[in-house]
Amino acid sequence: YWAFSGCSSLTSVEIPNSVISIRNYAFWGCSSLTSVEIPNSVRSIGYSAFSNCNELESIIVDEENPVYDSREGCNAIIATLSNTLVVGCKSTIIPNSVASIGNYAFYECYSLTSVEIPNSVTSIGEAAFKYCSSLTSVEIPNSVTSIGNSAFDNCSGLTSITSYISADKLFEIESDVFKDFDKAKCTLYVPYGAQETYAATAGWNDFTNIVEMDAPTFDLTVSSAGYATLYLDYAVEIPEGVEVYTAQAIEGDRLMMDLVEDVLPANTGVLVKAPAGTYTFNYTETEVPEIADNLFSGSVTTKYVSVPSNKTAFVLSSVDGNVGMYLAKLTDGQFLNNSNKAYLLLSKDKLGISEDEVDTSIGGMQLSLRFDFNGSTGIDGVQTETSVQGAIYDLYGRKLQSAPTKGLYIINGKKVLVK
């Protein structure tokens, strides 16, 4: 503990590959330290190990380290297994894959002027930004479900806090979360329609100036393929020229789609069909019933989705120009779903397949479901053949390795009856 604390003239340090632990406050107050590299031998890092290192701007973790990483050049130390950011600095860019900001992660980072918390983050730890006195504004995404004691204590430079936590998800916080700065000079911006809820909720009601933001909108970009998925936690009007569909059933390799008229209800995963372009979905207070039996799921935040062994996940993709819902590529039984995107999580019984039939031999994109908007698979005509050439797929989109027996198959993008 405190091994190099207060060594204000220390500009660089080489940590050898024999070091397995960096204890609490080990480099606290090394105010001239500009960079640090964590070797692959380090297995534990204590809290505030690099606090009050105000010139620190480069943090690199050896790629072979099994416990920590500095993914995407983020200039931070992240606990790999839990996706928790444990050490940050003034130049940290928090990756979208981070699930939590750990206790004391930016503690006494006096030179931190701005930070963007991605909507993958669900928790902000104790004293995570305490004494970040140069921080003038902060945005808290709707994904956050807990904020630890003293998280923004003594952030004396704060003039605005924007919370996207919706009224129905708002939680109480301790009074010291936003302690020891002038709240009369700091505006708390809250979601449309949530001002009364914030004003009545412990911790948040310490602010004297709570201002509602404008009604939300969402801009969705549709690629040249003509399709996208969408998931929002508020109801929106469907723009002109856009068709929105839920998925109601599966028949063979077809996903049976149902058109949504005028208003898309909140928390409803859908497929969007439209010419390439960007479309604005505007919030509406129009009350519409929930849509029953929709097979789509989704999330408003970027998150890892776990897939149980008895289920199969599908995501929107295009393979060889064929757009559909394709088998998601899993890592350790889960896949990354981007914010405001929909996906399918289907029982293998519903698909009529067994576990050994799920083929991921081409990067997890072989098993597929095709959209059926009006009772047609979208494949024109049925040809009858006695012999076939080229790649052959069954109606589940699985590539055959040998000559087919009699039956229906997909060959060169067409449905073919082999006799």
pLDDT digits (tens, 9 = 90+) for 379-388: 444 444 445 5
Rounded to two decimals, what is the model's pTM?
0.72
Query: What is the C-alpha separation between 206 and 184, in angstroms, rounded?
Result: 9
Percentage of residues of the chain with pLDDT beyond 70: 85
Residue closest to 65 by CA, chosen among 37, 43, 40: 40
Task: Report the chain's mean pLDDT, rounded to a whole number.
Answer: 88
Cβ proximity of 245 and 270 under 8 Å: yes
- Give the pLDDT confidence of 278-332 residue by residue, as tens digits: 999 999 988 889 999 999 999 988 888 999 988 889 999 988 888 999 988 888 8
The pLDDT score that the predictor gives to residue 45 is 97
89 CA to centre of own chain: 23
The pLDDT score that the predictor gives to residue 322 is 87
Percentage of residues of the chain with pLDDT beyond 90: 69
pLDDT band at 366 (very low <50, low <70, confident <90, very high): low
pLDDT of 260 > 80? The answer is yes
- Give the pLDDT confidence of 91-123 residue by residue, as tens digits: 999 998 999 999 999 999 999 999 999 989 999
- Give the pLDDT confidence of 352-363 residue by residue, as tens digits: 665 555 544 334
Q: Render the burial of 236-263: b for 16+ CB within 10 Å, e for the rest.
A: bebbeebebbbbbebeebbbbbeebeee
The pLDDT score that the predictor gives to residue 365 is 43
- Give the pLDDT confidence of 376-414 residue by residue, as tens digits: 444 444 444 445 555 676 655 556 666 666 666 666 656
| Average pLDDT estimate for 15-27 | 97
- Burial label for 304, CB within 10 Å (0-12, 13-18, 19+), is middle
